[in-house]
Amino acid sequence: MKSYRMYVRGEWIEAKSKAKREIFDPGNGELLATVPESGREDVIEAVKAAREAFDNGPWRNTTALDRGKFLFKISELIKRESKKLAELEVKNCGKPLAEAEFDAADAANCFEFYGGLATKIHGETMSVPANSMSFVIREPLGVCGQIIPWNYPLLMSAWKLAPALAAGCTVILKPSELTPLTALELAALIHEAGLPPGVVNIISGPGAGAGEELASNKLCDKVAFTGGTATGRKILEGASTNLKKVTLELGGKNPNIVFADCDLEAAIDGALFAAFANQGEVCSAGSRLLVEKSIHKAMVDGMLSKINRIKLGHGLTPGVKMGPLVSKAHLEKVQNYIQIGIQEGAKLLWGGQRPEGSEFTKGNFLMPTIFDNVTPKMRIAKEEIFGPVLSVIPFSTEEEAIQIANDTDYGLAAGVWSKNIFQAMRVIRQIRAGITWINTYHPTFNEMPWGGYKQSGWGRELGFHGIEGYLETKQININLDEAPINWY
């Protein structure tokens, strides 16, 4: 068992209260580590460190080229430690090793992408009117608080840190209190990369107290949050204290629409992957499967014939495709939604219970679950469950599919399956969601923007859009006429 410390001002520290939190493996209940349980005082110190580093440290005078080199170095260090990071991610989060390995590789790629982008921050010039010149420059926004969720801690750390550092900001990163381990391991790699003290500060602690202080602290110029919509509203309340900039990547109840002319085998595989990858603990999960009635039976039968191929178990066990849910409390929340679906009259086709076997008794395991004949007004079709629960909703026409797809408070992601590209594009254009796929589901690219419509958030991450959220725009005007203006 390892005892971790937080990373503030380039040093490893304990919480001022000396409080500790125990971190357990959700797959077998094993005690993995202890981490500091920070509170408001700890966050205040971390913010002060970031503020000092931004206002008076060497970071603001570091060239874009050198900032990029720091990010390239972090990328290389992640690659070097990728096996260790992936295995730790499995033990802390529960996800299968293959997914954690992909996350580690993608985290390295994210730092590499923004390392290259650091030197591509350009401005504008204008020579109107005569005898003057106006130009626009982009400057780092300042001190940024960043709060990430428990489902992708290493990858979300990269999504937050890389663009902020490329822009020239300083940061305080707070991972979820449930899954802080890979973020704290990343702090060690950042330290090894040689960033100046205070540029990156990584603290562990709960949303209540630590997260609240980070959102409301007046020395922070921005807060970026990924997580649930209800918490996002609280972040906004805290940010209003000094009207800090805010980026929110929130929840989703995402439609995955299957038309009768689709490649049925591809759609079956895609629907299962959309719903059950990472145990369904994904904001963009395709948890609402809208199926054209003429192929409804074939689609459902096809999923049922393949769902037993989803091997459950500890993520480090070879061949496992679905691990445990992150915590006992979250398991109970998802089980409660399954009972709600049964009470609402949906037809439970598969799962809905914990798997049998001694290997599952100590972990937070739940079988992949499929409900059929779900109506759009049922709670399991309206509310984000964030677990391996798929709701199948039949539809008759393209217009009905679009109406059902958009009948949600969310607008994060959506998928369409059809061989008719004209229909697929026509439907995608009418769905109010920020990330969409045609004849696939879940691919994400560091080069492309990520974010949602409606209550799925504000702003975008990744790509050029991701760095925009960490830059201010300054207009500079130069008078080229030496004569007085003679106004008076």
Exactly one of 144, 169, 220, 283 is catalytic; name it. Answer: 283
Residue among 384, 426, 345 nearest 255 (CA): 384
Contact assessment for residue 183 and residue 202, using Cβ atoms and an 8 Å cutoff = yes
Whether residue 283 lies in the annotated active site = yes
Helix (H) or strand (E) holding 94: none
> CA torsion, points 93, 94, 96, 100, in degrees to nearest 10?
10
Task: Compute the C-alpha angle 469/471/474, nearest 5°.
Answer: 135
Nearby residues of 104 by Cβ (< 8 Å), 6 or more positions away: 78, 82, 85, 86, 89, 154
Q: What are phi and psi of 117, to 5 degrees?
A: -75, -20
Helix, strand, coil: what percent of the chain each, to 5?
40, 20, 35
Q: Burial level of 180, CB count in 10 A (0-12/13-18/19+)?
A: buried
Tokens of 303: 């999923």
Q: Using CA atoms, how far apart are residues 406 and 351, in angstroms rounded to an integer? A: 28
CA atoms within 13 A on the CB side of 232: 20
Q: How far apart are CA 215 and CA 389, in angstroms?
A: 32
| Tokens encoding 107 | 């985290």
CA distance 473 to 157: 25
Six token digits for residue 234 = 């609280």
CA distances from 465 to 72, 113, 422, 450 (A): 20, 13, 28, 9
The catalytic residue among 37, 185, 249, 468 is 249
To the query of whether residue 81 is one of the catalytic residues in this protein, the response is no
DSSP for residue 459: S
Residue 120 backbone phi and psi in degrees, to 5: -110, 20
Query: Residue 53 corresponds to which tokens in the numbers above?
Result: 């580093």
Q: Helix/strand/coil (H, E, C) string of 173-229?
A: EECCCCCCHHHHHHHHHHHHHCCCCCCEEECCCCHHHHHHHHHHCCCCCEEEEECCH
Instruction: Say whether 445 sits in a helix, a strand or coil.
Output: coil
CA distance 396 to 250: 31
- Which residues are annotated as catalytic? 249, 283
